[in-house]
Each structure stands twice: as structure tokens, then as C-alpha cells.
Amino acid sequence: MGLDQEKPVESVHLEATPTLDPTDIKKPEHLNEVSGSVMSLKVALTSYRNAMLYSLFFCFSAILWGYDMQVSGGLLAAPEFRAVFGYTQPDGTTILPAEWQAAFNMIATVGGMGGSLLCGPLSPYMGRRMTLTIACVISSGSVFLQFFAFTRGVLLAGKLINGIALGMFLVTACAYCSEACPVVLRGITIAMVNVFVVVGQLLGNCLIKAFGGQSNTFAYRIPFAFQWVFPAILLSGVWFCPESPYWYVQRGKHSEAKNSLERFQTGGSIESWLIEIQETVRIEEESASSAGYLDCFRGTDLRRTLIVMAVWTINSFSGVNFVLSYSTYFFQIAGIPTSASFDMGVGVTAVGVLGNICSWFVINTIGRRALFPGMLVLTAIVFIIGILDVVPNYNSSIAMGQCVLIIIWNFFYDLTLGPLGYVICGEMSSTRLRSYTVSIGFFTQNFWTLIMTLTVPYMINPDEGNLRGKTGFIFGGFSIIASIWTYFCLPETKGRTFEQLDHMFQQKISARKFGAHDLTPNEA
């Protein structure tokens, strides 16, 4: 899956994509009226509610990412799971060897890296619906392995294969949402990917709470089996969804693209939207003769790709693995009983859902550069968590204060950085390279998640770094750098059509001037 393996797929894609004749496209006089860029949110929700519903169906696949993430860690605390895949000590306690704990936590992330890169060439060739179908089949098969596993090797194989499907789910959902909705709904819809990730985490917590304490193999088999529900729902409905109109136009199927747009829109003419798509695809095909991973690092696409990679890097270095993965740890230090600390962990996830819902207002009013004030707040909170850890006579009351800060941090994370990562990833790429750029973005996310999974325990664990809350100083330092980058390098893409964004990147507009930049009629 190296970056040099895209050429065979490239050639197939380009040969199958008829060149658009510019004379066949009647460009609209006012491009900013196309695709709902100046439409009110109320009108968009009325006229394009079908587009949003179809997009939400694709977003539903992201629930598996959050669910798997939560179940992987939660089952390590289930005695029956440790007894089957670990060993029982003379005193009756069950142990899962540390190296297998690490492997079990990381293997899905490794699969996600592979699935993300696989989706890059697969989605442009087969379309969004077929890619989602393939991911569902892969996921269903992997759950079969997990459900019937009695050895560590089989279990890890199932987790690895499922990780491939999870990576494909995120890339496909993000790409579809960015292409199916008008501009005014685009950010909100893409942000829904993160909502379903958090809902998946909440479901995972609830399943572990309900079944993890059983004294038979159903303690872990039922949480595994529950994963079959999601691919079944997706497979039953995906072929009732319209294919991406951008994909159809890229394949030269303009009548099919028009049919998709008619299904997205509940009333009125779709001609202007179709013209915009045709014009965007034509200009991008004229500017480049190939589409592959290497093209993401050439010309103006290099800047766009680096922005996507930077945002996902910021996501990991903000301290999300530290704050959320070890929230239960701080609850226990604060003197909260183990069972109650789990319930508090569920509460932290629920606060994340609330933050995501509130983020819709932030995304549509403030825009993508809301990430800058969001990063300032997140930076301040992790520093305060670190400062409280060095206060003399550290006790349970101070630990409780850290617990409160963790909950507040999680709210602001899901208000800004959490959903905006998906939005920026879906909007920043060119149409021609969207699936490749989004794939690189999620590969970057999985890569840094893997690094944090390996390093954060060494920072916090009492037998290693024993930094406890002082880990906040490390991530606070990273967050300062991330805040500076966000201010100087993150463009505002709110309210811009993809063709407008193409022009602005070609003109090398400063990131801080993107939001206020006016396109002349010739530029538009």
C-alpha cells in the first residue's frame, strides 16, 4: 500500500472518464448562487432534506469506529475475557499478558491505516455505494472471527480485518457527505460523522456495562455480536441511496448524475448544481492528467493535503488519548468507586454528544477557523490539569477538580476540534483527489493514534513515568504550537463551493484572508 502503487488504478480511472467538452457546459452567471452557497439554513433543510438524510445514512457507518474503540478497551476489564484469552492465577484473578493487551488495543488501528489507503483508489473506481458495501462485507466476516475466537491469534486476526473495514467506513462517509449536500449543509453533515463515532463509544460503554460482568463467554461474545447489527442495516439500505453525482460526472455519466441530484433535492431545478459539478470536474481534469496518491503532493494539492494531515496530527497531539482514555483513572484517584467511575466515563461520552450537537451552530456561523479559539481553550484546560497535579498535598479533592476539567475539555473538544477535523478533511481536497486526500487524512489519524496508544501509558503508569496529570504539560506544549499553526495556516472554507476553493488555492490566497476574499466574475 505504498504511495507508488496507485498507477494501475490511475490508468483505469482516467480511461473510463470521458473528457468533458467545455462547449457542452453552460456556466452560471453567478457561481455563488450555485449549490446553495447563499441559501439560508432553513431553506436548505426544507429543499435538500433528502440529501441530508442520505448523507446521515452513510455517516451511520462511523458508529462502528467508535463502538470498536470503546469495546476494545472495555473488554480488558471483563474477567471472563481475561480468563479465556489470558490465564488464571492461583488466587483466582485473571490476567491478560501486557503484550497481548497492547496488541489487542492497537491492531484495529493498524487495520484502519490499511483500510484508509485501500479506500483511496477503490472509491473513485467503484463509487461510494460499492465501497461501503465492500466494507460491510469485510466487517461482517471479521465479526464472525471475533465471535467464535478462542485463541489470541484468531481474535487479533478478526480485529485486524475489522480495522480495515473501519478505515473504509470513515473515508467513504466523509467523501459522500462532502459531495451530496449543498454548501450550507456540507459542514453540518460531515460533522455528523463525529457524532456517530461518539454515539458508538456510548453504545460500547453500555454493552460492556450490561454484559461484561457475566461469568460465561457471552460476557464478550454479545458485545462482539452486536457489531453485526450495523453492517446489516447498511447493506439493507445502501443501494437505495443515490450515488455521488461527482462520481457520475467523473465517469461521464451526466444523466445519472442528474438523477442523483433530483433525488437529493425535494423541489426546484437542479440544473445550476449539475453545471457547477461539471465545471469543477472539467477544470480539474484540464489542470492535471492523473489522479493518485502522488498527485496529492504536487502543485496546489500539496498545500491542501498538508492541511488535512496537520489537522489530524493536531487532533492526536491535543491530548485526546490522554484526557479521554484515562478519565476513569482520574475518577478512581478522586475516590469514586470503580463501578461509579465507569458510570462517570459514560457521562463523559454523553457530554461529548452534547458538544457535537452544539458544534453544528459553531460550524455554520463561525466557520472552520473556530478551531483557533477552540484550541486556545483546550490548551488552557490541559495546562490547568497539569498545574493541579503539582499543587502541594495532592488529594482526592484536587483529583475531583481534574475530573471536572476532563469533562469540560471533552465538551470543547467535541464542540470544535473533534467534528471540525472531519469537516476540514472533507472540504479541503480537490474533487479529483478527494478520496485520496481523505484517505491520507485518516491514515494520518490512525498513525498518530497508534503512536499515542504506545507512548501515553508510559507517561502515566506508576511503574513508568508516573506523570499522572502532569502529562497535561506535554500536550499543552504541543497544543500551543497547534494553536499558532491554526491561526496562520488554516483557511476558512465555510460557504465556498469546490470550484471557488480550487481558484483560491490556485491563487495562493493567504489562509487568514480566505474568509474575506471576494472572487471576481472572471475568477468565479
303-321: per-residue pLDDT in tens?
A: 999 999 999 999 999 988 8
Gyration radius of the chain's alpha carbons: 23
> Which distant-in-sequence residues (6+ apart) come within 8 Å of 240 by Cβ?
none
**Is pLDDT of 330 > 80?**
no
**Is pLDDT of 11 > 60?**
no
Which superfamily is assigned to 47-246 in CATH?
MFS general substrate transporter like domains (1.20.1250.20)
CB 235 within 8 A of CB 14: no
**Is pLDDT of 9 > 70?**
no
User: Which H or E element spans position 479?
Assistant: helix 471-489
**Which amino acid type is present at position 522?**
N
**Is pLDDT of 46 > 60?**
yes
CB 514 within 8 A of CB 504: yes
> Which distant-in-sequence residues (6+ apart) come within 8 Å of 98 by Cβ?
none
Q: 3-state DSSP call for residue 262?
A: helix
Distance between CA 2 and CA 468 in Å, rounded? 38
The grid coordinates of residue 180 equal 451530496
**Which amino acid type is present at position 44?**
A
Residue 519: its pLDDT value, please?
66
Distance between CA 394 and CA 387 in Å, rounded? 11
Per-residue DSSP letter, 181 = S
CB 370 within 8 A of CB 487: no
Angle formed by the axes of helices 128-148 and 218-225, nearest 10°: 170
**Which amino acid type is present at position 483?**
S
- Mean pLDDT is lowest, of 1-10, 144-153, 328-337, for 1-10
**Is pLDDT of 41 > 60?**
yes
Q: Hey, CA dihedral for 342, 348, 350, 352, is it positive or negative?
A: negative
**Which amino acid type is present at position 423?**
V
Which listed CATH number (3.30.750.24, 3.40.50.300, 1.20.1250.20, 3.40.1400.10) goes with 290-514?
1.20.1250.20
Same fold, 47-246 and 290-514: yes
Report the pLDDT averaged over residues 319-340: 72
Distance between CA 340 and CA 10 in Å, rounded? 54
What integer best gives the mean pLDDT of the chain? Answer: 86
Q: 3-state DSSP call for residue 300?
A: helix
What count of other Cβ atoms lies within 10 Å of the Cβ of residue 266? 12
DSSP string, 52-121: HHHHHHHHGGGHHHHHHHHHHHHGGG-HHHHHHHSEE-TTS-EE--HHHHHHHHHHHHHHHHHHHHHHHH
Find which of 23-37, 89-103, 246-260 is predicted with most confidence, using mean pLDDT.
246-260
Residue 241: its pLDDT value, please?
96
Domain definitions of the chain by residue range: 47-246, 290-514
